[in-house]
Amino acid sequence: MIHLLYVDPDATRSAWLGALLEASGFRIVGRATSGEDALTQAGQCQPQVALICLRLPDISGAETTRQIMEHHPVPVVLLVDPPDLVGPGARESARCGATAIIETPPAPEAPGHLPKVAALVKTLRLMHEIPVVKRKTLRPHLWLPRPAPTGPPILIGLAASTGGPAAVQFLLQLLPREFPVPLLLVQHMSDGFSSTLVEWLRRTTPLKVEPAEDGVAPQPGTLYVAADQKHVVVRSGPVLTLEDGEPVQGHRPSANIMLESLARTLGPRAVGIVLTGMGDDGAEGLLELRRRGGLTYAQDEQSCVVYGMPREAVRRGAVQSSMSLAELAEALQKLAGPNAPDKEKSP
């Protein structure tokens, strides 16, 4: 049984959703209807995961999450109504330290009820295993990089491990649907999980999400997720190639292989980002990308679940700047050029 703190001011929804969660293997050890009550409960009931509505009658669910992560860290899934999935609501949610954001399931009689409840259950189970640490308030000032002199990037490479699914979800939610640059993700995961990750990101983010396939030319506004047990290599075109090479330092797909190929093929027209995760995969590849003129970034320590991969990249001198997820999203929109649509204006 997974111990759950459930924070919801809607008594009717709390009754039917709480019953469904308990039938799905969760034990609700704490219930709250306000942010202040949630903060008290978080310190008393010791949940393994918290489910918090963004809209609360006193302080917001985002502020509640921020305080929980500072004082009683626990994985938090934010329930967000559809109007708040874009614009200021999305940005507030992404900055607060929650491990996932998911759309509030509709009532039992409404269309789409069962699939969205199933998605919520899957997300809670996935997130409750993520280790979290006390989170400090993010720095208020944002440094934005200058676009490469050769023009906007052609492809953005992402590397992640522990905590990566939630980090990638945050990042995609803050980008517009029409984001004009494709992205390629190497996420360390158990065999068989890549398809689940693709489906989850499709449901919870505005961009297209596709598995990386051999011979595919990356398209704008699309995230390509590396397949299980296949290295993904970027070749001239650019096109994606899947290879069966040996694992590199235990990883297949390897972020180092992906980023090194990005460096060789696109050089200054590529961006590389190392996100939360254990180990050092991606550090050498990011360094090679920087050597060849590409732009290189890492998720900052304050916003990481595990500051292993970013730390190693910083230690090797591969990182030009470390940023929070919200800052990275803003930086990527600036890099994409003046014609990139604004998130708030995107439908």
Beta-carbon count within 10 A of 221 CB: 17
The per-type count for the chain, helices as H runs and strands as E runs, is: 11, 14
Query: Active-site residue 161, yes or no?
Result: yes
Q: Find, among 135, 221, 132, the residue nearest to 172 by Cα.
A: 221
Catalytic annotation, pick one of 128, 188, 231, 251: 188
Query: Active-site residue 188, yes or no?
Result: yes
d(CA 330, CA 321): 13
Return all residues near 214 (Cβ < 8 A) that are at least 6 apart.
240, 241, 242
The amino acid at residue 247 is P
d(CA 32, CA 59): 13
- Residue 248 is given by DSSP the state B
Q: Find, among 268, 313, 248, the residue nearest to 258 by Cα.
A: 248
d(CA 60, CA 39): 12
Query: Active-site residue 281, yes or no?
Result: yes
- Residue 130 is given by DSSP the state S
Q: Find, among 268, 159, 179, the residue nearest to 220 by Cα.
A: 179
Catalytic annotation, pick one of 60, 281, 300, 303: 281
Catalytic annotation, pick one of 14, 60, 93, 161: 161
Token pair 């590397």: residue: 159
Please identify every residue annotated as catalytic.
161, 188, 281
